[in-house]
Amino acid sequence: MACHILLFALLALASSRVMASDPSQLQDFCVADLKSPVLVNGFVCKPPMHVTADDFFFSGHDMPGNTSNQLGSKVTQVNVNQIAGLNTLGISLARIDYAPYGLNPPHTHPRATEILTVLEGTLYVGFVTTNTNNGNLLFTKMFKKGDVFVFPEGLIHFQFNYGPTPAVAVAALSSQNPGVITIANAVFGSNPLISDAVLAKAFQVGKDTIKYLQAQFWVDNN
């Protein structure tokens, strides 16, 4: 009897772990119907007879992004909203252009791990761990053309172009819709604003400092 109970417990644990992961594809593809009013976790599928090659295609990733903003960077995303055929496939792409000394500011992707490679230039990159007994650990690296760096899912990370020339990188992300939370924009530019009393207490500064930060224009480089 004890053996049966143990076996049942192990099967239940294994099942729960399987169910906690994304399901495998049940068909060759599920091209997103971006115009459907039906709301699901992702997008409903187009009827296969309405699918064309264009549903798996995007053009223009060779074109530099406009970096003439306060951050000096531009992220050009290619996710399910640009390629409907990415629906349910768990992958997407982004091109990041950096002006000289341009920054892709601290941000997170709540639904994706990111792997980044530099095509041109030199970048200083890094990520910060979640809270640990040793604090929030920072991992950084200077990397150049051809180098690759990984940012684990959900962790705050950044890229900075230290050089006097433009830089270009391409990132692959493990979600059709990875999402992005830019830390400064979310904390100081939310709608409506977070209470200055809350932020003053959290950052241990005066309310005047918080009001100043909330009054700034927080650039979205996506």
- Write the DSSP assignment of the chain as a string of letters: -HHHHHHHHHHHHHHHHHHTSPPPPSSS---B-TT----BSB-PBPPGGG--GGGG----TTSPP---SSS-EEEEEESTTT-GGGTTT--EEEEEEE-TT-EEEEEE-TT--EEEEEEESEEEEEEEPPP-TT---EEEEEEETT-EEEE-TT-EEEEEE-SSS-EEEEEEESSSS---EEHHHHHHS-SSPPPHHHHHHHHTS-HHHHHHHHTS------
The Cα-based distances of 57 to 78, 85, 114, 142 in angstroms read: 10, 8, 21, 33
Q: Is the pLDDT of residue 114 over 90?
A: yes
Instruction: Single out the residue of 184, 206, 186 nearest to residue 196, CA to CA.
Output: 206
Q: Is 109 annotated as a binding residue?
A: yes
In this prediction, residue 1 carries a pLDDT of 53
- Which of 75, 76, 30, 35 lies closest to 55, judged by CA? 30
Residue 134, annotated ligand binder? Answer: no
What's at 209, amino acid-wise?
T
Q: What is the pTM of this model?
A: 0.87
Q: Could you give the CA distance from residue 137 to residue 175 in angstroms, rounded to a whole number?
A: 25
pLDDT tens sequence across 178-203: 999 999 999 999 999 999 999 999 99
- Phi and psi for 52 in degrees, rounded to 5? -130, 170
Tell me the two tokens of residue 12: 């239940």
Residue (of 26, 25, 77, 33) closest to 55 by Cα position: 33
Query: Annotation-wise, does 4 bind a ligand?
Result: no
Calculate mean pLDDT across residues 134-150.
96
Q: What is the pLDDT of residue 23?
A: 54
Q: Tell me the pLDDT tens digit for each residue of 59-113.
A: 999 999 999 999 999 999 999 999 999 999 999 999 999 999 999 999 999 999 9
222 vs 39, which has greater pLDDT?
A: 222
Q: Per the omega criterion (within 30 degrees of 0), is the bond before 192 cis?
A: yes
**pLDDT beyond 60 at 42:** yes
Give the pLDDT confidence score for residue 24 in this predicted structure: 63
* pLDDT for position 41: 84
